[in-house]
Amino acid sequence: MSKNIRFWVGMDVHADKIQVAVYRGHEEFPLEEYESQTDARSLARLLKRLKELPGKVRCVYEAGPCGYELQRYLTKNGIVCEIAAPALIPRKAGERIKTDKRDARKLGRLYRAGELTMIYIPSAEQEAVRDMIRARERAVEDVRRKRHQLCKFLLRHGHRYRDGKQWTQGHLKWMKGIQFDISLLKTVFEEYILSLDQAEERVKHLTGEIEEIAKRPEQARQVSALMILRGVQVITAMTILFEIGDMRRFLRAKDFMAALGLVPSEYSSGNSVHRGSITKTGNSHIRRVLVESAWHYRHRPTVGKGIKARRVGKPRELLEIAQKADVRLNRKFRRMTEHKKLSTVAAVATARELAGFVWAIGQQVHA
């Protein structure tokens, strides 16, 4: 009989300790509460205590900087463990006290009530690829910062490029001809250039590694399918695949859009309906690349050389999705800007609908 009892375990996980609250069945108060360290011996003791519970054990903790290692450790040893999305954990408006013990209790209760939204947990290899994609993202940001620092340094000393856009071949040639009378300034300038070159080389190296991974048989089909969409190339496709995992877990396109935080926020009561900006909950990495891709739809839906090459040999069902996206998303972007909407707002709205087409392709690829 005791084997039918369920134990709901809420865990507040930190780098050095884990606060645990164990609920038995539907009892109001925790059966036991204790604290565990995170070294190997302490985790083994935690596992033993959980296995000694006379029933089915289900554990949960919220996603954070400690990653998935605890979840993988417990799952590998036969304990069900899930990870909750922090932004979607219900919070009472009047709560003003927050402690590790309270957080563990709250997670256990909400988990038992089915009020938590669980995140997708990638395999160790998938997480490694995702970390590489995010490392490239950070490297691109680093290049942007270093370019900004270099331009501001030159501007402070009276050097401003006036013959076109920055970071073109002309701009780079102009920078090579800059001379400083003071040797210290010359040294600073050379250090800025060296730092920028190193950052750009890092982006180039990581991009090459990701493109090689995209050629693997297990990824190549999905990547090439996503790349039939305008504005979606290897890095964008890989970001979508490894950030979201299996697209089939979203039953509707709307669910996928909501998971990316691209749906409008809403506060409605009675006859009053108020919709605000997008929620921005969920995966910010995919949201960013889709907004970047959405800018391509401001142009007329003509099929250029690059897109034509990416669409050669693709199934008719996928081509129909891509062609429909070309027309619909361009019309969406154009109509919004014609109605005096900011182009940035139009890009985000277009990205929301682009997410729907990405979802449709994901369903076709796995069909």
Q: For residue 65, what is the domain's CATH number?
A: 3.30.420.10
* Assigned domain for 118 exists: no
One domain for residues 235 and 349:
yes
CB 180 within 8 A of CB 189: yes
One domain for residues 157 and 194:
yes
**Mean pLDDT (whole number) for 233-248:** 94
pLDDT at 74: 98
DSSP letters of 135-194?
Answer: HHHHHHHHHHHHHHHHHHHHHHTT----SS-TTSHHHHHHHHT---SSHHHHHHHHHHHH
* Assigned domain for 106 exists: yes
One domain for residues 101 and 133:
no
One domain for residues 197 and 240:
no
* Assigned domain for 69 exists: yes
Q: Which structure tokens are listed for 90?
A: 């219900």
* Assigned domain for 332 exists: yes
**In this model, does residue 229 exceed pLDDT 50?**
yes
**Which of the pair, 105 or 266, is modelled with greater confidence?**
105
Domain boundary among 214, 230, 260: 214
One domain for residues 253 and 274:
yes
* Assigned domain for 209 exists: yes
pLDDT at 366: 77
Q: Which residues contact 114 (CB under 8 A, 6 or more apart)?
A: none
Per-residue pLDDT of 62-76, as tens digits, reads 999 999 999 999 999
Which residue, chain included where needed, has tokens 């990824």?
219
* Assigned domain for 222 exists: yes
Per-residue pLDDT of 287-317, as tens digits, reads 999 999 999 999 999 888 999 999 999 999 9
* Assigned domain for 7 exists: yes
One domain for residues 270 and 156:
no
CA distances from 357 to 16, 215, 285, 335 (A): 43, 23, 18, 19
**In this model, does residue 346 exceed pLDDT 90?**
yes
One domain for residues 68 and 192:
no
The length of the chain, given as a count of residues: 367
**Exposure class string for 138-173: b at 16+ Cβ within 10 A, else e:** ebbebbeebbeebbeebeeeeeebeeeeeeeeeeee
One domain for residues 238 and 193:
no
Q: Which structure tokens are listed for 366?
A: 């796995």
pLDDT at 367: 65
One domain for residues 248 and 204:
no
One domain for residues 199 and 228:
no
**In this model, does residue 46 exceed pLDDT 50?**
yes
* Assigned domain for 119 exists: no
Q: Domain range spanning residue 320?
A: 218-365
One domain for residues 69 and 165:
no
One domain for residues 178 and 300:
no
Q: What's the chain's average pLDDT?
A: 94
Domain boundary among 191, 214, 237: 214
Per-residue pLDDT of 161-188, as tens digits, reads 999 999 999 999 999 999 999 999 999 9
Domain boundary among 155, 186, 214: 214
Q: Which letter does DSSP use for residue 296 in this model? A: G
**Mean pLDDT (whole number) for 91-115:** 94
Domain count, the chain: 3
